């Protein structure tokens, strides 16, 4: 045994989601390029801890070290990609059939995006989903696999530190270590309009 982690209860989930819902009110009002800057800082924080995080993935779930490091690198790569997208979130001006009218297409955040990841890709799948969700103005609720709680906690801690350093609520990125009851709560919660899951 290398650590003991207490799993979240449904009551813990409710408390965390309330905080995330409150944080969403702030996060969605921040301009997309500024959100991109925050995601860039998240990528930099992960980059600074690439080796120890990769070792943690390897230790916790059994991947060879190169693949453990690759897992974390995948989040970093997605952060870098998402930063560029933060300046390309544009809509359209569409001609109307009515005289002196035009239509505007505007993209708005959904609010909260749920991400449920499996043990075999504890970081990569998170990166594919969370980085884009964040630059688009959505908060993220992440449930990592119950067999990989340490990497879930470590990544969440780094992301929360970046958010709080920027005087933003850490609950913009909320995670839960738990089992099927937490996954079920996320998937059935009408306050979470989009859930991505693997497994």
DSSP secondary structure string, 139-159? Answer: EEEEEE-TT-HHHHHHHHHHH
- Which tens digit of pLDDT belongs to each residue from 126-185? 999 999 999 999 999 999 999 999 999 999 999 999 999 999 999 999 999 999 999 999
Angstrom CA distances, 186 to 41, 143, 145, 176, stand at 27, 8, 14, 10
Q: Terminal CA-to-CA distance of the chain, rounded, Å? A: 26
Query: What is the biggest distance separating any 2 CA atoms in the chain, rounded to whole angstroms?
Result: 72
The pLDDT score that the predictor gives to residue 107 is 86
Q: How confident is the model at residue 91 (pLDDT cuts 50, 70, 90)?
A: confident
Dist CA 126 CA 100 (whole Å)? 46
What is residue 176's predicted lDDT score, i.e. its pLDDT?
97
Banded pLDDT at 199 (limits 50, 70, 90): low
The secondary structure of the chain in percent helix, strand, coil, rounded to multiples of 5, reads 55, 15, 30
Chain mean pLDDT for the chain = 96
pLDDT for 152 equals 97
Gap between the Cα atoms of 123 and 73, Å rounded: 9
- Whole-angstrom CA distances from 197 to 89, 102, 146, 181, 184 are 24, 39, 14, 15, 11
Question: 10-90+111-197, superfamily in CATH?
Answer: Aldehyde Dehydrogenase; Chain A, domain 1 (3.40.605.10)
pLDDT attached to residue 161: 98
Give the residue extent of every domain in the chain: 10-90+111-197
Token pair in block for residue 15:
């408390």
- For 58-74, the pLDDT digits (tens) are 999 999 999 999 999 99
């Amino acid at each position: 045994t290398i650590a003991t982690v207490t799993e979240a209860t449904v009551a813990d989930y409710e408390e965390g989601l309330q905080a995330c819902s409150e944080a969403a009110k702030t996060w969605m009002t921040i301009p997309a390029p500024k959100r991109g800057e925050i995601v860039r800082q998240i990528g930099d924080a992960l980059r600074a801890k690439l080796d120890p995080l990769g070792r943690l993935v390897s230790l916790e779930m059994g991947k060879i070290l190169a693949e453990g490091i690759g897992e974390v690198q995948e989040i970093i790569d997605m952060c870098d990609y998402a930063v560029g997208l933060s300046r390309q979130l544009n809509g359209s001006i569409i001609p109307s059939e009515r005289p002196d009218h035009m239509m505007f297409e505007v993209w708005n955040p959904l609010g909260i995006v749920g991400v449920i990841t499996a043990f075999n890709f504890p970081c990569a799948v998170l990166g594919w989903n969370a980085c884009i969700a964040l630059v688009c103005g959505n908060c993220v609720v992440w449930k990592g696999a119950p067999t990989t709680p340490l990497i879930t906690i470590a990544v969440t801690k780094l992301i929360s530190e970046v958010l709080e350093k920027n005087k933003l609520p850490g609950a913009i990125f909320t995670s839960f270590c738990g089992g099927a009851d937490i996954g079920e709560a996320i998937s059935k919660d009408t306050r979470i309009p989009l859930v991505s899951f693997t497994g």
